[in-house]
Amino acid sequence: MISVEQKSEKIMNEDAVKAFPDECCGFMYGTEDASGNRVVTESLPINNGAVENRRRRFEISPKDYLKGEQHALENGLLFLGIYHSHPNHPAIPSEHDRVAAQPYFSYVILSTYDGVIKNTRSWRLNDDFQFEEEEYSSPLKDSNKTIQ
Amino acid sequence: MATIIIPTPLRKFTNNTAKLQISGGTVADSIEQLITNFPDLKKHLLDDKGQIRSFVNIFVGDQDIRDLQQENTVIKEDTVLSIIPAIAGGNN
């Protein structure tokens, strides 16, 4: 399971809304317990470096990636994964997401329709290079459950 | 000895080691050494033809080996070699 603290989710949500209709992307940092449960305590928006078609593509430059690794080391955090948005598409990884995906990382996808966050889901690559959904928990999602 | 930096997603294949020492030669030699020591890395670094996967970037210092001599780039004693996964995607 991956839990995202409220302030981190707020940053991701605001990034996705601000970037709409383009895709946003960023890094997630935090902790992981012995059972593999992850908590995102920090999210960091990163420039979408895709040269073209940023409405359907995102890309993080190697230099930004290196800075991301350095940030984890300097702050004593685990680099847990990547978030990005799917404008006007569901929060399901595409083939483009799968072929570039890395093991270990959580891939959080925010589905935004007309600039509004519809839902957020998280995925991880298995040993066969296929995505499997990982339970996603956040204060916002949990409060919605209570209301329903 | 030169240093090779393993990115977070691949550290589970290197016993959670982030930095390793390698004896030099070329980039190709270094990758081969790495895979010999940690065979599970192979499918994440090389494609079916034994070439470095297109979604893997190798930097010598702050330079992409694609801008140098590719896999034949020479590694010196003080070289820091970084494996950098390409982070990309998007909806269909």
**A88/A117 Cα distance (integer angstroms):** 10
What is the maximum span of chain A, computed from C-alpha positions, in angstroms? 44
Using DSSP, state whether B8 is helix, strand or coil: helix
Nearest to B7 by CA among A96, A102, A106: A102
ipTM tops 0.85: yes
* pLDDT-based confidence at residue A146 (cuts at 50, 70, 90): very low
Instruction: Please say whether the beta carbons of B13 and B44 come within 8 A.
Output: yes
Chain A hits for B44, Cβ within 8 Å: 102-103
**A77/A30 Cα distance (integer angstroms):** 5
More confident residue, A90 or A140: A90
Closest partner residue to A60 (CB to CB) among B11, B87, B92 is B87
Nearest to A62 by CA among A78, A44, A42, A46: A46
Tell me whether the omega of the peptide bond preceding residue A21 falls within 30 degrees of 0, making it cis: yes
Task: Return the amino acid letter for A72.
Answer: A
Q: What is this structure's pTM?
A: 0.92
Helices within A20-56 (DSSP H only): none
pLDDT over 70 at A143, yes or no:
no
Closest chain B residue by Cα to residue A93? B91
